[in-house]
Amino acid sequence: MSNLGEIFGSNVFNDAVMKERLPKATYKALQKTIADGLPLDPAVADVVASIMKDWALEKGATHFTHWFQPMTGITAEKHDAFIAPTADGKAIMEFSGKELIKGEPDASSFPSGGIRATFEARGYTAWDCTSPAFIKDDSLCIPTAFCSYTGEALDKKTPLLRSMEALSKQALRVLKALGNTTTSKVITTVGPEQEYFIVDKKTFEQRKDLIFTGRTLFGAKPPKGQELEDHYFGSIKERISAYMKELDEELWKLGIAAKTKHNEVAPAQHELAPIFCTTNIATDHNQLTMDIMKKVALRQDLVCLLHEKPFAGINGSGKHNNWSMATDDGMNLLEPGSTPHDNKQFLVFLCSVIKAVDEYAGLLRVSAANPGNDHRLGANEAPPAIISIFLGEQLQDILEQIEKGGATSSKTGGHMEIGVTTLPSLPKDATDRNRTSPFAFTGNKFEFRMCPSSASIAEPNFILNTIVAEVLSEVASRLEAAKDVCAEVKAILTEYVTKHKNVVFNGNGYSDEWVAEAEKRGLPNIKTTVEATKALIEEKNLAVMEKHAVLSRVEMESRYEIALETYVKTINIEALTMIEMAKRQILPAVIKFATTLAASINTIKATGVAADLTAQTELLTEVSSLTASLKKNIAVLEESVDKASNAHGDTYEQASLFRFDVFEKMAELRTVADTLETLVDKDVWPMPTYGDLLFNL
Ligand code: ADP
Ligand code: MG
């Protein structure tokens, strides 16, 4: 591998490149737009475009594309060559400022949730100059926001950018009211840890379910799963290591600071974590990371599975969204310092987050909901579907002091002796970790651990930014109006702690006791995506998104429709795939096995030997009766899909039919097929088993 310093960011039109290549005045104007969020002068755009094009051509690019993030959750790109034919039959390479700042993809084939009919096709993409352009597959990719002809957001980036402005505005008001005169901007920082599975491509290709749905719809439990806990942080196998190396290198070229890689808990499961950065760039980077993960895998005859639950019975994948707020003059607003009890600013921001999470738990829950994640949240491996906050011993103690009238001390971690004189005495953190909490304070940031592995992190972040902005705006108004700011801070903290301590839970989030306790506390436990979507049209939530100009009512309603439509389509595809596999692969295979058994019984009988045929007969009876059940279950599922697909009424009702009828029938069919898998000859089973998929690299 070449020098990391040299390759890092080599395919990015980043600040260093701009500084070096742009005329000073252009560079300054662009920087001002980026830093202060001012509109861009078209003359500046022309200069930037021309220089960007020259740089891209030098790097071998032939095309440019506005790269955007429609509501499909993945990215979209339409490539245009730089080419412009000349009168003499030749061509010159052109790229104008107009082409840089605005694109016009046909919007009619992207999900809009009813905002726009297909005949109203026009959509626009607008350059997000705060996220740098980059080169991918010989195209200059320009990060953009995507909206309709009437100005509604049709993507995940627009609300994210809006929410960042909202949070900055309100956080600045609070800082100012607390006496800060130096900060001029607050950004939210995000570091997403990405989990994924890697399987062999040839094995993958023999599974229709993986091909069509990204997860296994059938599959008996293999003799070995993750019970020995030998995969987590285990030595990385050669093929995986080669994959991770190439992946890191590709990501580094794109300026993505891939930092940590390791094996995860489930066999064939791994994780990648980058160094955190500003939210919109972190989101762009995560979208790119997922894209590159899949591409690099294919190059190495592997397949990367980003689905939340590719395999039943072992852990699924999530994305841990580490989130904090930072100022442009270098402060992390969630850094407690060594004496958090007298860190007024920290406590105000901390308690604002606690209140926001408690009051808008429904919005946070839906931001982490997708059909895949329904297999995880609430199962005993991922955080429960109940939103709660882990603070740890030190902060818990401070909150208790605040509630009793004022905090005067902070517990410290001290030192830890390992008991071997040659080993160093380690400074101990004031607080242990908690792996079972959906929203855990981890030293100087919160880790939102519910997020789905395959989904964009835009949603959780724009929700988080907006709900925190809302509470900060309330705090700011109170502080601005207060005669005695210190006394008001104390009043706010006491009130927030008293009212919202219910959402704080430091125990085992996976336990049944917690489910019961949370119910007593009145915390919602929303188990399914379908039910979670309701939060998108609740009045309180519509109001908060509208107030901070992140999503209008129409935009929220469209997202509600899209979430339900996506649910319906996903389960429909899964059910149809199951039916096809059951009918055309599993049923013929088990019939063949039964026929062989029957033939064998007849052959042995024909010899006239008085052989004991109970084993064959019993097996034949068992397989035949399960085969009959299989056939019956296929018919039941077909009928259920038919009914749900043809349901009239609103999308919510249809989605409910898919969740509470189709989905349940799928599980019943699977149980029968998986039992058959354990009975029949491995050679006649028509697809690779879990053992083949999980342990063959
Ligand atoms: P762990 O698995 O122990 O939780 P990792 O090192 O795998 O931790 O990931 C932690 C993530 O949190 C990294 O992406 C890191 O960059 C990110 N992070 C650290 N500090 C902040 C911060 N202030 N804001 C946002 N993310 C942060
Ligand atoms: Mg980690």
Residue type, 507: G
Q: Whose CA is nearest to atom 7 of ligand 1?
A: 273
Q: Give the pLDDT score at 525.
A: 94
Ligand 1 atom with minimal separation from the 274 CA: 14
282 lines ligand 1 (CB under 6 A): no
Q: Give the pLDDT score at 115.
A: 74
- Please tell me the pTM assigned to this model: 0.95
Task: Report yes or no: 413 and 539 within 8 Å, Cβ to Cβ.
Answer: no
Task: Report yes or no: 265 and 156 within 8 Å, Cβ to Cβ.
Answer: no
Ligand 1 atom with minimal separation from the 442 CA: 4
Cα-to-centroid distance, 273 and ligand 2 (Å):
7
Ligand 1 pocket mutation pick from 445, 446, 448 by most atoms within 8 angstroms of CB: 445
For residue 663, what are its two tokens? 């989905």
Return the minimum-mean-pLDDT range out of 63-72, 102-111, 232-241, 345-354.
Answer: 102-111
Question: What domains are defined for the chain?
Answer: 4-155 (3.10.20.70), 163-412+428-551 (3.30.590.10), 568-694 (1.20.120.1560)
465 lines ligand 1 (CB under 6 A): no
Cα-to-centroid distance, 554 and ligand 1 (Å):
35
Spatial separation of the C-alpha atoms in residues 291 and 284, rounded to whole Å: 11
- Let me know how long the chain is: 697
Q: Judging by beta carbons within 10 Å of its beta carbon (0-12, 13-18, 19+), is residue 298 exposed, middle or buried?
A: exposed
User: pLDDT, tens digit, for every residue of 540-589?
Assistant: 999 999 999 999 999 999 999 999 999 999 999 999 999 999 999 999 99
Spatial separation of the C-alpha atoms in residues 619 and 690, rounded to whole Å: 23
188 lines ligand 1 (CB under 6 A): no
Ligand 1 pocket mutation pick from 233, 322, 323 by most atoms within 8 angstroms of CB: 322
Residue 149 pLDDT grade (very low, low, confident, very high; cuts 50, 70, 90): confident
Task: Name the residue with higher pLDDT: 230 or 266.
Answer: 266
Task: Report yes or no: 385 and 527 within 8 Å, Cβ to Cβ.
Answer: yes
* Percent of the chain clearing pLDDT 70 (strictly above): 97
318 lines ligand 1 (CB under 6 A): no
Spatial separation of the C-alpha atoms in residues 478 and 473, rounded to whole Å: 9
276 lines ligand 1 (CB under 6 A): yes
Q: What is the average per-residue pLDDT within 213-221?
A: 97
Q: What is the average per-residue pLDDT within 670-693?
A: 97
Of the ligands numbered here, which is closest to the C-alpha atom of 260?
Answer: 1
Q: Give the pLDDT score at 111.
A: 85
Residue 416 pLDDT grade (very low, low, confident, very high; cuts 50, 70, 90): low
User: pLDDT, tens digit, for every residue of 21-68?
Assistant: 999 999 999 998 888 877 788 889 999 999 999 999 999 999 999 999
Q: Give the pLDDT score at 583.
A: 98
Ligand 1 pocket mutation pick from 193, 256, 265, 448 by most atoms within 8 angstroms of CB: 193
Q: What is the DSSP string of 667-686?
A: HHHHHHHHHHHHHS-GGG-S
Spatial separation of the C-alpha atoms in residues 113 and 549, rounded to whole Å: 19
Cα-to-centroid distance, 638 and ligand 2 (Å):
42
Q: Give the pLDDT score at 225.
A: 82
For residue 426, what are its two tokens? 């380690």
Residue 235 pLDDT grade (very low, low, confident, very high; cuts 50, 70, 90): confident
Task: Report yes or no: 377 and 531 within 8 Å, Cβ to Cβ.
Answer: no
Cα-to-centroid distance, 193 and ligand 2 (Å):
6
User: pLDDT, tens digit, for every residue of 117-140?
Assistant: 555 667 899 999 999 999 999 999
Spatial separation of the C-alpha atoms in residues 214 and 93, rounded to whole Å: 41
446 lines ligand 1 (CB under 6 A): no
Mean pLDDT of the chain: 93
pLDDT of 452 over the 80 cut: yes
pLDDT of 431 over the 80 cut: no
Task: Report yes or no: 310 and 217 within 8 Å, Cβ to Cβ.
Answer: no
User: pLDDT, tens digit, for every residue of 523-544?
Assistant: 999 999 999 999 999 999 999 9
Q: What is the average per-residue pLDDT within 329-345?
A: 94
